[in-house]
A and B are shown apart, each in its own frame.
Chain A
Amino acid sequence: MRKISAKHLTEVIKREVIAANLQLGDDMIEALRRARNIEESEVGKEILDKLLENAELASANRIPICQDTGLVVIFAELGQEVCIVDGDFTEAIEEGVRVGYQEGYLRKSVCHPFTRENTGDNTPVIIHLDMVPGDRLRLWVVPKGGGSENMSALYMLPPSAGWNGVKEKVVETVVRAGPNPCPPTIVGVGIGGNFEKCAILAKKALLRPVSEPNPVAELQAMEVELLEEINKSGVGPEGLGGRVTSLAVHINMMPCHIASLPVAVNIQCHANRHREVLL
């Protein structure tokens, strides 16, 4: 068994939540630059320039890209030959978030659903844990903003709806969201599974670097088709009109029940923050 100390895990999470919020990934910088070249609207071009400038400034001045530093989502693939020692796995992660959000001057954005009282330390954290072969621990650290999450949706379609039904729902969800989720967005789409798995598939689709094509040819073609449809809407950067409403569509698909065709649309704003680490 390979040992990973809870303390080390806390340090890594602390470091990564800060880095994720201060530094926009290269994949996103590149995607925004590409969008700048495609965009025809003058306002849209200016916005894309400002977003690139914002990313530079955030990194140089060490302040967050966006004030909504998110609810932290962690995807963890834990090798079955790894043993977490000297502490509790979940607590180690939450401590990393607690300390990272304090020391990194990040906004604490988690509260009670009804009283709206802030928990004060940005916990709890949403953790998705998968056990995998091997002796490594792979983590994705994803601070997710509320504005784009609010525009996300899940549909339990009848099987007869087929691809056209799925397409209609995805496009409708993104276009209806308009300016609200801070376009240009990345659209994570989950197809299949069941009610909760479909939503996780959609969120997990957002982890893929924006520059990477889908390794499954069938899905890649579906992504291209959806992106083209979405960008016909005219919503554009920040919803003020333009060609680039979304930068990419990412699909994850798996088999589902014979009675169902679940589809989930998880919208991600242009402050697409995700960090991957392998321990």
Chain B
Amino acid sequence: MSSSHVIGLTTPLSVKDVEGLRAGDRVLISGIIYTARDAAHKRLLSLIERGKSLPFPPEGQIIYYVGPSPAPPGRIIGAAGPTTSYRMDPYTPRLLELGLKGMIGKGKRSTQVREAMVKNKAIYMAAIGGAGALMSTVIKEAKVIAYEDLGPEAIRRLTVDQLPAIVVNDTLGNDLYEDGEKRYQII
């Protein structure tokens, strides 16, 4: 999403990085991000409950909700667009308490997650759902680091270069989905 107000973000993110962002800001994310969706989140939470360490330290990191399609020969990854985020809501507040700073997905988050983002200073960003082929072009490296048995749901460490996203929920509690819908609603 190219536009005049595009903010470059490099991981890991600091509190200052996320506090400076507002719902509606376009961002281009570069650096390392981690993939996790339903099954991986369940396992991460089980590790946290048992006091074990996670496959990656969540402090300052971004989780991208994605289950990519397999990489064809000669390619780094297959299609890799975002999956719907609400399914990760039950697991998210705990990860935010551990210092997770950002999430990339699509779709609305629960009140609990939104409150946890305000409390723990974190942001939620949307990527274009269904633009999997386009998203694969910004991924420069992909490596499974945990849960290989989960196939598409394994945790991958991705190196991304200018991954385009838009801030939906900021640290002040704003929500771009609510604002956007209201703006174009015809009553």
Q: Residues on A close to B: CB < 8 A?
A: 40-43, 46-47, 50-51, 53-55, 57-58, 61-69, 105-109, 116, 118, 120, 147, 150, 178-182, 232-236, 238-243, 269-271
Contact A46 B126 (CB under 8 A): no
Interface of A is mostly: loop
Q: Is the CB of B133 within 8 A of A108?
A: no
> Is A240 within 8 A of B69, CB to CB?
no
Residue ranges of B at the interface with A (Cβ–Cβ < 8 Å): 1-3, 38-39, 66-72, 75, 78-81, 83-84, 86, 106-108, 126, 128-134, 136-137, 150-153, 166, 176-177, 179-187
CB-based nearest A residue for B150? A118
Q: How far is the CB of B171 from chain A (nearest CB, A)?
A: 20
- Known contacts A64-B132, A179-B177; is-contact A43 B108 (Cβ 8 Å): no
Q: How far is the CA of A32 from the CA of B45 in the complex (A)?
A: 40
Beyond A63-B133, A107-B152, whether A47 also contacts B70 by CB under 8 A is no
B79 touching A64 by the CB < 8 A rule? Answer: yes
Report the Cα distance A202→B94, complex, angstroms: 39
Query: Which listed residue (B2, B70, B79, B126) contacts A240, Cβ 8 A?
Result: B126
Among B38, B72, B181, the residue within 8 A (CB) of A63 is B72
Contact between chains at B107 and A178 (CB < 8 Å): yes
Q: Are A116 and B39 in contact (CB under 8 A)?
A: yes
Contact, CB under 8 Å: B180 / A54: no
Tell me the smallest distance from the CB of B49 to a CB of chain A, in Å.
18
- Which residues does chain B contribute within 8 Å of A150, judged by CB atoms? 84
Q: A42: which B residues are within 8 A, CB to CB?
A: 3
Is there contact, CB below 8 Å, between B186 and A269? no
Determine the residue in chain A with the shortest Cβ distance to B184.
A234
